[in-house]
Structure 1
Amino acid sequence: MTRILGIDPGSQRTGIGIIDVGADGRLQHVYHAAINVLGNEDFHQRLKQIFDEISSVVDMYAPAEVAIERVFMARNPDSALKLGQARGAAICAVVNKGLGLSEYAAKEVKQAVVGGGAADKAQVQHMVGVLLNIPGKLQADAADALAIALTHAHTRSSVERLGIPRTAWRRRR
């Protein structure tokens, strides 16, 4: 079994999702949650909360691999900056625990989980539930984090089969 932590960074809510991948490729849901940092008025405290909670999850669940969503360019520069800072707090928490991480663009995640890069949040939530056999509606940020973990699981499997680095077959922008 390989345990994968997926992280969907956000300045208001950061999604985290953990799956196990068997040697035969079977996927199993382990844990998911959304870190809600809206209770902290001070943005610095939000970043600390993201760092602390991801650190605790890594300690508790001991993932072997970590995947995070790559930042997209937002229309609002202030929002993009805050998202980048939240992402940085998450990355620091993971790297501080001695883990490396892989990054995936939102379109890559949607393509891997739903089959199309233009899928909406509801489609991602539904497919994550189906793929991991999770009944009921998932919280959007937690579903996105699980989708990132699923994308990493599918990608690492393809890389192993192809025997070439992921960067060699990714489409250039």
Structure 2
Amino acid sequence: MRVLGVDPGLTRCGLGVVDDAPGRPLTVTAAGVLCAPADADIGHRLLLIECGIERWLDEYRPGAVAVERVSSRYNVRTVMGTAQASAVAILCAARRGLPVAWHTSSEVKVAVTGSAGAGKAQVGAMVTRLLQLDVPPEPADTADALALAICHIWRAQALNRLQQAHATACPAPALARLRKGTIR
């Protein structure tokens, strides 16, 4: 599985591509930041982000995209900009029929560090360790994007195991009868 993690922002949009193969450690394929001038109008900034994400999707061909879910704990202006950049990432993925998953920053922090209160330095350190990198990814937006991809990979694996366990425990014919009310 190859996942593109997107840490949305209007001036810096972190991107990270992580690969997962059975029996092998996670590997980073690419990591970086799309930058847009803070003094440019919003339309131009969103266009730069779109072009950059499109290039990454064309070049790295992920099977899924993980985007940070916007949190309302920030001020409204920050939330709006983040939401707009998120929408661009979602649109780019939708054009290709790619599944998109949203993860809150707390979910990502718990997945990679074990603590929802982890700081940027802790996330960067754990991403460095998990991906067996020589140095922490810089800037923090890049580490956050890689952490999003890692979180998605691990959550997808857990969800698949749960679905398989459910299918084994409750075969489809029994589930259909249960839904019809013939099994009590």
Please tell me the residue identity of whatever aligns with 2:162: L
Whether the aligned pair in 1 keeps the contact of 2:136 and 2:143 (CA below 8 Å) is: no
For the pair shown, the structure with the greater C-alpha radius of gyration is 2
Normalised to the residue count of structure 1, the TM-score between the two structures is 0.89
Report the alpha carbon displacement of residue 137 of structure 1 after superposing the two structures with TM: 2.8
Normalised to the residue count of structure 2, the TM-score between the two structures is 0.84
Partners of 1:21 and 1:75 in 2: how far apart? 32
The runs of at least 4 aligned residues of structure 1 exceeding 6 Å deviation read none
**2:118 aligned partner:** 119
Matched, 1:148 2:134: no
Partners of 2:102 and 2:60 in 1: how far apart? 20
Whether the aligned pair in 2 keeps the contact of 1:13 and 1:37 (CA below 8 Å) is: yes
Whether the aligned pair in 2 keeps the contact of 1:40 and 1:46 (CA below 8 Å) is: no
**2:64 aligned partner:** 65
Change in Cα spacing, 1:40 to 1:93, as seen in structure 2 (3 Å) is: farther
**2:170 aligned partner:** none
1:1-173 to 2 correspondences below 5 Å: 2-24=1-23, 26-38=25-37, 41-138=40-137, 139-163=139-163
Partners of 1:137 and 1:21 in 2: how far apart? 20
Partners of 2:19 and 2:122 in 1: how far apart? 22
**1:171 aligned partner:** none
**CA deviations over 1:22-66 (Å, ceiling 9, x no partner):** 022531111000111126611111101111110110000110111
Partners of 1:89 and 1:97 in 2: how far apart? 13
Partners of 1:161 and 1:137 in 2: how far apart? 31
